Amino acid sequence: MQPRLKPGFFVRAVIRRAEVAGAQGYVVKKGSEDAGAVLLKISRLDGTCTVLNQVTVGDGERAWARPLGETCDDARASAWFEKQMKFDPDLWIVEIEDREGRAFIDEKIV
């Protein structure tokens, strides 16, 4: 099991990876530097997106899940994010704009 990066550091790294690859990354909601979940919105710039949230699988392995399915529209994603913010005020929301739909993360997507 790999040690978990602090959310603030992880978010900056994902945004940097996206920008190096020619995509754009933005912090939509800044959470706690040291705690809180990280949610990713991968926008394909055509009104559709993929939402990813961190999960733990197997023997503590970190992965990402698609809580809204393979793709959804921006309005559905925004409504889901609003709901999540009520449960965790420390969470981070990061939007990556990439027509190819790349997430720029190392962990697997389940």
Q: What are the chain's domains?
A: 7-97 (3.40.1530.20)
Q: Look at residue 1 and tell me whether its pLDDT is greater than 50.
A: no
- What value does the mean pLDDT of the chain take? 93
Which pLDDT tens digit goes with each residue over 36-77? 899 999 999 999 999 999 998 988 888 999 999 999 999 999
Write out the DSSP string of 38-90.
EEEEEE-SSSEEEEEEEEEETTTEEEEE-TT-S-EEHHHHHHHHHHHHHH-TT
In this predicted structure, the answer to whether residue 3 has a pLDDT above a threshold of 60 is no
Identity of residue 14: V
Percent over 70 (pLDDT), the chain:
97
* pTM of the complete model: 0.91
